């Protein structure tokens, strides 16, 4: 017979495990991926949204992203234990075992791919698998090789809106490549700002993500500035090709100019605070611009 104390202990254990499984999915990152998938789908349908398919696609994007970052954490569990920003993750703290994490990631992967196979199309399914493989088994090990990892990581990072578009249309069009291109270029200042802020931690794990020899210097700041600058003309392409209208073009230009302005401070000061502003600016830029595109068109 289970005593009250044993029952309470079991409840606490399950609570800890549940929170650990949720944390393993990196819900904020996975929600951003899911939103980008939904954005691509909604933009492609031009107001004729199938809400059931949109829900399935959003859920699939969340689960596949969660499975990918879970596998990433399994591969990097010993490295995560070395860094302040990651040492409290479920695997370094042993709240989850590698076996538990892999089983959970496998279930998320199978569920996501089944839903994509059942309710979207073969091209969406294929590119989803490619995205996961690139992230887990190419980008992840390359992080200790050099900044080429950022280029590789930008590919799966930019695929979600493309996948959403393909789920709606079944094909890769120039419109799909435009929204892919915007998110692809956005990855570089986003990644490098994070790498600048977390440089001391990354060095402990041997991660080499910053360009220009891995230095927090003017050359790196200039590269961040150049990629951010490219977002300004890229943000106008949806309106230019009739995907959206003037209002969203204005929003994208204002956001792009504000994002670009933050890089000038980094070039001038080279401070961690300036890099932090770029990092937070990147988190704001993408959803604001994508929402503006949707509101303008739908």
- Rounded Cα distance between 135 and 69, Å, is 8
Average pLDDT over residues 244-263: 96
Dihedral of CA atoms 20, 81, 76, 90 in degrees, nearest 10, equals 0
Band of pLDDT at residue 4, cut at 50, 70 and 90:
low
Kindly report the backbone phi and psi dihedral angles of residue 211, in degrees, each rounded to the nearest multiple of 5, phi listed first: -75, -175
Question: What pLDDT, in 10s, does the model give residues 114-152?
Answer: 999 999 999 999 999 999 999 999 999 999 999 999 999
| Cβ neighbours for 56, distance < 8 A, ≥ 6 positions apart | 115, 119, 120
Q: Which residue, among 40, 291, 54, 36, has the nearest Cα to 175 in the 3D structure?
A: 40
- Rounded Cα distance between 80 and 157, Å, is 21
- Rounded Cα distance between 243 and 67, Å, is 32
Question: What pLDDT, in 10s, does the model give residues 65-119?
Answer: 999 999 999 999 999 999 999 999 999 999 999 999 999 999 999 999 999 999 9
Residue 12: per-residue pLDDT: 55
Count the neighbouring beta carbons within 10 Å of the beta carbon of residue 14.
10
DSSP H helical segments within the chain, as ranges?
Answer: 4-24, 27-45, 51-75, 77-80, 98-119, 122-133, 140-142, 148-169, 174-197, 199-205, 218-234, 237-240, 246-269, 272-297
- Rounded Cα distance between 75 and 144, Å, is 12
Count the neighbouring beta carbons within 10 Å of the beta carbon of residue 136.
20
Question: What pLDDT, in 10s, does the model give residues 182-228?
Answer: 999 999 999 999 999 999 999 999 999 999 777 899 999 999 999 99
Residue 13: per-residue pLDDT: 72
pLDDT greater at residue 2 or residue 210: 210
- Rounded Cα distance between 282 and 186, Å, is 8
Question: What pLDDT, in 10s, does the model give residues 258-276?
Answer: 999 999 999 999 999 999 9
- Rounded Cα distance between 27 and 187, Å, is 19
Rounded to a whole number of angstroms, the distance between the first and last alpha carbons of the chain is 60
Rg (CA), the chain: 20
| Cβ neighbours for 24, distance < 8 A, ≥ 6 positions apart | 66, 69, 70, 73, 89, 90, 91, 96, 101, 104, 105
- Rounded Cα distance between 293 and 91, Å, is 39
């Amino acid at each position: 017979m289970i005593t009250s104390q044993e029952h309470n202990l079991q409840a606490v254990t399950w609570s800890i495990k549940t929170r650990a499984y949720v944390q393993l999915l990196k819900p904020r990152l996975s929600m951003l991926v899911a939103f980008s998938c939904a954005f691509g789908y909604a933009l492609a349908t031009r107001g004729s949204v199938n809400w059931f398919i949109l829900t399935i696609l959003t859920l699939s994007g969340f689960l596949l992203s969660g499975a990918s970052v879970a596998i990433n954490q399994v591969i990097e569990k010993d490295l995560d234990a070395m860094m302040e920003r990651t040492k409290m993750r479920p695997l370094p703290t042993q709240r989850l075992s590698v076996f538990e994490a892999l089983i959970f990631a496998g279930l998320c992967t199978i569920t996501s791919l089944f839903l994509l196979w059942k309710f979207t199309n073969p091209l969406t399914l294929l590119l989803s698998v490619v995205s996961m493989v690139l992230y887990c088994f190419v980008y992840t090990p390359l992080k200790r090789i050099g900044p080429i990892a950022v280029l590789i990581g930008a590919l799966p990072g930019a695929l979600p809106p493309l996948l959403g578009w393909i789920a709606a249309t079944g094909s890769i069009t120039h419109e799909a490549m435009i929204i892919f291109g915007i998110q692809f270029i956005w990855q570089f200042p986003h990644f490098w700002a994070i790498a600048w802020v977390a440089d001391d931690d990354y060095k402990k794990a041997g991660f080499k993500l910053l360009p220009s020899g891995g230095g927090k210097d003017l050359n790196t700041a200039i590269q961040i500035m150049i990629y951010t600058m490219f977002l300004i003309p890229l943000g106008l392409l949806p309106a230019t090709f009739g995907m959206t209208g003037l209002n969203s073009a204005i929003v994208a230009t204002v956001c792009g100019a504000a994002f670009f302005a933050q890089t000038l401070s980094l070039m001038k000061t080279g401070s961690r605070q300036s890099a932090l502003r770029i990092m937070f600016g990147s988190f704001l830029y993408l959803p604001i611009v994508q929402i503006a595109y949707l509101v303008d068109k739908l």
